[in-house]
């Protein structure tokens, strides 16, 4: 669905593609878990797992609220159910409740067979993208 080539964050996270962004507040992203993301025993480090699900929930919020919104995570809870190994993984996110400024989303990470590897929930602030980008530029140029 989406061309992500050349985006440094997407490359770091090993995004394969954005498979779905549904205006009802759903998103599906595919990642390639790599061996260099693993710690002992060939298990993907939990920060990558958390980041993948967090990104899916953020993409679901953007799908629902439009590209002028930047979802800012206020709270994030992740539960890990099974080790994530190198290979294709699918992160899905969906809206639970979407207010004007605050939203609640859930998500999970699946292996290629559809087994749930981890689940997450988040509370996010729906910020105006232009204000977030302006504040970021001001911080860099300081």
What digits encode the pLDDT tens for the residues 3-38?
Answer: 566 789 999 999 999 999 999 999 999 999 999 999
Three-class secondary structure of residue 97 per DSSP: strand
54-78: pLDDT as tens digits = 999 999 999 999 999 999 999 999 9
Domain boundaries, the chain: 8-141
Task: Choose among 118, 43, 106, 56: nearest CA to 76.
Answer: 106
- What span, in angstroms and rounded, lies between the C-alpha atoms of 87 and 32? 5
CATH no. of 8-141: 3.10.129.10
- What span, in angstroms and rounded, lies between the C-alpha atoms of 66 and 48? 26
Query: For residue 1, what pLDDT is reported?
Result: 47
- The mean-pLDDT minimum among 58-72, 89-103, 125-139 falls in 125-139
- What span, in angstroms and rounded, lies between the C-alpha atoms of 42 and 83? 9
Average pLDDT of 124-139?
93
Query: For residue 6, what pLDDT is reported?
Result: 75
């Amino acid at each position: 669905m989406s061309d992500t080539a050349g985006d440094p964050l997407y490359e770091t996270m090993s995004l394969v593609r954005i498979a779905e962004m549904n205006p009802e507040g759903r998103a599906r992203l595919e990642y390639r878990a790599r061996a260099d993301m693993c710690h002992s025993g060939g298990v993907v480090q939990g920060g990558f797992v958390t980041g993948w699900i967090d990104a899916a929930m953020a993409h679901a919020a953007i799908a629902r609220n439009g590209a002028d919104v930047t979802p800012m995570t206020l709270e994030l809870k992740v539960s890990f159910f099974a080790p994530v190994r190198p290979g294709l993984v699918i992160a899905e996110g969906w809206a639970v409740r979407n207010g004007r400024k605050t939203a609640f989303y859930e998500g999970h990470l699946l292996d290629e067979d559809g087994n749930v590897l981890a689940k997450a929930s988040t509370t996010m602030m729906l910020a105006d993208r232009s204000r977030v980008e302006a504040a970021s530029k001001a911080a860099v140029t300081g």
